[in-house]
Structures are given as C-alpha cells and as structure tokens.
Chain A
Amino acid sequence: MRLIASHLSRLVRRPASWITLGMLAAMIALVFIALAATAEQTASQPGGEAILQLLTFPMAYAFVLTFAIQIGSLFAVIYFAAVAGSEWNWGTFKNAVARGESRGRYVLSAYVALGLLAGVGLLIVFLIGVGAAAVGAGIAGVGTDGLGDPDALLGLPNQLWRAWLALAEAGAIGFAFATLARSSLAGVGAGIALYFIEEFAGLLLPDVVRWLPFQAASAVIAGADTSGISGGAGNPLEPGIALVIVLAWLVGSLAVAAIYSERAEITG
C-alpha cells in the first residue's frame, strides 16, 4: 500500500495527469456543445433526428460513456506509456531497485496507481460529459426529463465498471510497450500505432481484429451500451467473451511488463 500511495502521490502532482484529463473533458464538452449548436440545422436533414437523440437522456448517458472510452482508450495508451517509460528515462526505477525494492512489485504497483487514477478520471469526464449533454439538450431545446430515468441510473455502475476495465486494458498495452522499450516516446508511439492499425485493419480483417485489445475493449462497452451507437469492428465480440478477452490482454500485458522488469539489466 505504501508503494501504491507513493505512486499515486506522484501521479497527482504530474502535470501530464491533469493535461490528459483536461483534454479529454474539453473534447467531450465541445462535442456536445457543437451538437447542440448545429441541432436545428441537422434535425431537418435525413437522419438528423438520430443526432438529436444523442442529446436526449437517458440515451445521452451511453453516448457520453462510449465517447469517453473510444477517445479515452487512446489517451490511456499515451498516458500509461508516458508514465511507465519515464521511470526508465529518468532513472527513478533504477533508484527503487538500488534501494532493495522488488522490481515486479514496483512495476505492478505503478500500474495499479495508474488504474485507480484512470477510474477517477473516467468518473470526472463522465460527469462533465453528462453536464455538457444536459446543457446541450437545453440549447437544442430537447427535454432533460430522462436524466432521472431509473433503469438508466441502475445500469450506470455496470457501464462505468466496463468502461474502466476497457481503459485499464488500453493503458496496460501502452504500459507494457513502454516498459519493453524502456522509453516513454517509443511506448507512446507503439501504442498509438497499434490503436490506428486496429482501426484500419478492422475494415479488412474484422474477424481477426475483433480479438485485438482495442476492438475487444470497444465490444465490452458495446455490451453495456443500450443505444447501439458504439463503434468498433463490423462483427464485434459478444460482450461476455469480450470481457474475458480484455481481461486476458490486461493480465498478459502486465505479466510481460513485470517479467521483463524482473529480468532486465538496468544499464541506463
């Protein structure tokens, strides 16, 4: 616990934590304001009513969450990779090992701290997104009666939990890349590359790509998303299977990072 608390304390003070959160929150708020601002024009166009529904609660809950996850996965890859790589770049992992700390314990506790912070960040972004959607609904003249929909509210914890797991898995991929590369930059680059390779490869090889980490994560969210607007591969995994696959990617990534750290020769 001391090690996790120490990691958390550092992460909270790290400017990148707040920049990442701020960018994600700003993007989600802007999307809803933009939707609201153009609502009058789009409503009269074919399919425009569906756009308006994105501002309509309770469906807006799912849209906020879906958006937070799809963009958040990319942010998670970058943020987790930046943190994991900087431990090698700055020599702070070396410091801990030279103080007799267990390498695996240090790496895993760093991940746990990142995961906890990602959960808090997700909650904050979700609340900001819901607030922005409510404001957008007001601007667009859509009612907000559905905000208190009991079924939607009861389903939120399940949706949030799945979203958190998806973010944690995406982060674990970046974390493992950066650990293997011993570099923030290389980890971030590899994580982003995989994210976009999956996106594009999904068009050509959907049956293969749906098993890959980001598409599987999207399918986990789709399972919780009752609105049906989630993206992902054309043939997504069934949510229960996706959950297992996401967990497997998460555990696998962390195992690789921990084992590599245990065996690594620390020369930098």
Chain B
Amino acid sequence: MTAPSGSGELALATRGLVKRYGSRTALDGLDLTVPTGVVYGFLGPNGAGKTTTMRLLTGLLRPDAGTVEVLGRPFGRSDRKRLFEVGAIIESPSFYPYLSGRENLRALAGSGAPVPRRRIEELLELVGLRDRAGDKVSRYSLGMKQRLGIAGAMLNDPRLLLLDEPGNGLDPAGIAALRDTLRSLAGQGKTVFVSSHLLSEVQQLADLAGIIAKGRLVREGSIASLLATGGLVRVRVGAVEVPRATEVLAALVGASAVRVREADAGTLEVAIDAGRSAEVNRALAEAGIFAAAIEAGSDLESIFLELTDHGAGSSENGVRSLGGAG
C-alpha cells in the first residue's frame, strides 16, 4: 500500500452536512476530508448514511444544511458539470437490461461529458468483459454487472471515483483485480472514495478511512494509525477468574485498557495491539489463569464494531482524529 500523495488539494470535503428524510435524520453534521490521490474507505453499518452521502456528493440529493466541496471547489445546484470529472457507482450499477454491456456503456457515454469510442473498448478490456461485451446485460451475473458498473464509472477518466460497495458480487479474483486497479488509479494521482462494509477489503485497499455511525463521522484517519490505536484482544476465562484476570491484565497494560464485557460472562477486552496477544496469554498463565480463548482483534472489524456499537457516545465529543491523514 502506498502512502497518500498529500498534494494539499482536497478531492472531497463536507462540512456540517445534514440530510433528513421526513422526521428521520440520515446525516447529522457530517464532516469528511478526503485528500487528493488516496483511496479512502468509507465505513459504516447499514443505515449509517453511506449511500445518502454518496447521493449528496453526486447531486442526486440536496442537503438540508452544510456544504460539499468537490475537487477543491464548492459543489451546489448549478455545478453539475463538476461531475464530468467524477465517476460514480451509487448503491448498485444500473443498466438497460435489453442492451449488451458495450451498448450500455455507449448509452451512458451519451450523457454527461463526451467519451471517445475507443475508451469503451479499453475499459471493457480492463474489467475483463471484452469477450462478453456483446451479451445482453440481463444475462450477466451480479459480479459481471458490478465490473460493468466500474467501467461505466471510469468512462470519463475521472479525477475522483465514488464507489458504493464496489466489491459486491465479485469473486476473490475480481476483488483482487479491482484492488489493483483502484490502487493503480490512486498511484496516478486520482482519488478513490469507496464505501464498504467489507472491512478486510478496505483494510487492504485504503490509505485512509472514515467510520460513520448514525449519520456522523466517529473516526477518520489513516488505516495504519487506526489499527495502531484501535487494537483489541478478547480473552475468555472462567467466570470466577474474572476479578483476578482483570487485576493481572490491568497490571500489564493499565486499568483503563481493560474492560469486562457484562453481556458476555467471562470475557474481557484488552485495548492493545494484536501483536501483544501472546503477552496477555503469558501474563495470565503465570498467574495461574488459563484462557479458554484469546481473539486478536487488531483489524478494522473490531474497531468498527466498537465504534459503531458505541458510536453515538464517541461522536458527542466530535471526531477523534488519528493523525497521518495524508
């Protein structure tokens, strides 16, 4: 994974973005900062506001409050041509089912900025659909539609790519190819904004990540710093051993880093890097406590679950910046 280029210009920024659907608040003051030339992973549970954010960024919806900047300039109602430099898949790729893959790309190229015809063939080659480009889209698998959607998003050779769950339906080889393609685009100075619930995918792909819960950003920063500060080791011991185990672990890592899970009797959570899970095990064993299970949670999943389970509480005090944001 390459480091963010950090050219200084922001590819994308939102300030205090609010969107309501009737009485329900989908976005509640979202502040995003996405530098140029990075892959940014936008994470959140279902209903957190990811797709609403994508729609606001592409002018499909209009915010109730707040501002959006796209490619360094304000993006409002009259700035639709800014999207000529943006490619997007929102929610799921959409096509005319009675047209072939190639014809769908041509149809898409009929709107927005003009696209050279050879570009369509290049993209079909890039996403591995050249051989099936003449088949009707209604006969495509989900993965093939997803690949065609990615080709569609890249039609204009965009400076900013907004992809909503791009890994949906892709097989492992397809995901690996997508990852390579997106990394390559970032290497060329383009910005890729990927919303996803595939945390391991984001971990492998993104330079930066933002985690959204209940319409607010609860964490934003580089993947490396997120992992470094967000590690979690779960330890399961006998219920009667919990007080003693808590003392031992508190002596090892500090009392504030040890938490007893009330909902899961006999389980303790230790907020340390996953690489130190053996150290935890040894400390417990030396104290005569033998763990029934130890789970190293030093991945985005544990951080994600922690933040989104308790996201509202964290967000009360604003976004916790992790630094190294490129």
Contact = CB atoms under 8 A, between A and B. Distances in A.
Contacts of A92: 94-96, 107
A95 interface: yes
Contacts of B130: none
A98 B96 contact: no
Interface in B48-103: 55, 58-62, 80-84, 86, 88, 90-92, 94-99, 103
Interface string B179-216: 00000000000000000000000000000000000000
Nearest to B110: A6
Given A13-B99, A14-B98, A98 B61 contact: no
B106 A6 contact: yes
B156 interface: yes
Interface string B152-185: 1001100000000000000000000000000000
A14 B55 CA distance: 29
A99 B156 contact: yes
Contacts of B108: 95-96, 99
A26 interface: no
Nearest to B58: A98
A28 B256 CA distance: 85
A3 B111 contact: yes
B60 A5 contact: no
The secondary structure that dominates the B interface is loop
B113 interface: yes
Interface string A80-109: 000000000011101111111110001000
Nearest to A2: B110
B25 to A, nearest CB: 15
Interface in B93-142: 94-99, 103, 106-114
B80 A95 contact: no
Contacts of A98: 58-60, 83, 86, 88, 90
Interface string A227-268: 000000000000000000000000000000000000001110
A266 B107 CA distance: 20
Given A13-B99, A266-B55, A266-B60, A99 B90 contact: no
A13 B97 CA distance: 11
A3 B94 contact: no
Contact of B62 (A6, A90, A99, A265): A265
A159 B108 CA distance: 37
A96 B98 contact: no
Interface string A4-16: 0111011001110
A22 to B, nearest CB: 16
Contacts of B103: 9-10, 13
Residue among A91, A100, A265, A267 with max Cβ neighbours from chain B (10 Å): A100
| Shortest 6 CB-CB contacts between residues of A and residues of B | A6-B110, A91-B94, A99-B112, A100-B83, A96-B111, A101-B111
Interface of B: 55, 58-62, 80-84, 86, 88, 90-92, 94-99, 103, 106-114, 152, 155-156
8 contacts: A10-B99, A10-B103, A90-B94, A92-B94, A94-B90, A95-B152, A99-B112, A266-B55
